[in-house]
């Protein structure tokens, strides 16, 4: 199984990463900082989980955003997601894969919540 994670730092790098990693047949692709409000494109052979980017200030760009792509042959089950993390389960391998993004300045309480999820 091939797994990769990348901080895209924006939409243009996100689309390049999706093209590159799906062409390389990476099984699980975790992409953060997509800055996307929605991503509806279906990639043949992959199931998609998206966490929308959020806007914390009235002015300025959206921040965060994640997309997880998993080879559909693994029959992934999407477990949970929030603005900073997402988790999938692959029952056949008894495997849970998580993508967690902690933005600079996140509060300690947010980190404690992430740890609770991982510890389960």
Token pair 């959206």 in the structure block, residue = 62
pLDDT digits (tens, 9 = 90+) for 95-113: 999 888 777 776 666 666 6
Strands in 77-81's sheet, in edge-to-edge order, are: 77-81, 85-90, 95-100
pLDDT digits (tens, 9 = 90+) for 63-88: 788 999 999 999 999 887 777 788 99
Token pair 């999820």 in the structure block, residue = 117
- Domain ranges in the chain are 3-119
CB 90 within 8 A of CB 76: yes
CB 48 within 8 A of CB 115: no
Mean pLDDT estimate for the chain = 85
Enter the DSSP assignment of 76: -
CATH domain 3-119 topology: Deoxyribonuclease I; Chain A (3.60.10)
Where b means 16+ CB within 10 Å and e means fewer, 60-79 reads eeeebbbbbbbbeebebeee
Which of 35, 27, 38 is closest to 5 using CA atoms? 27
State residue 38's pLDDT score: 82
Provide Rg for the chain, Cα atoms.
14
């Amino acid at each position: 199984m091939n797994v990769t994670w990348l901080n895209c730092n924006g939409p243009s790098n996100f689309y390049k990463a999706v093209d590159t990693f799906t062409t390389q047949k990476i099984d699980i692709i975790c992409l953060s900082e997509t800055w996307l409000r929605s991503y509806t494109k279906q990639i043949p052979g992959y199931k998609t989980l998206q966490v929308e980017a959020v806007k914390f200030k009235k002015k300025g760009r959206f921040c965060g955003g994640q997309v997880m792509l998993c080879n559909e042959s693994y029959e992934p089950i999407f477990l949970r997601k929030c603005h900073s993390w997402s988790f999938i389960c692959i029952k056949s391998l008894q495997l849970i894969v998580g993508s967690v993004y902690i933005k600079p300045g996140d509060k300690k309480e947010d980190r404690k919540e992430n740890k609770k999820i991982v510890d389960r």
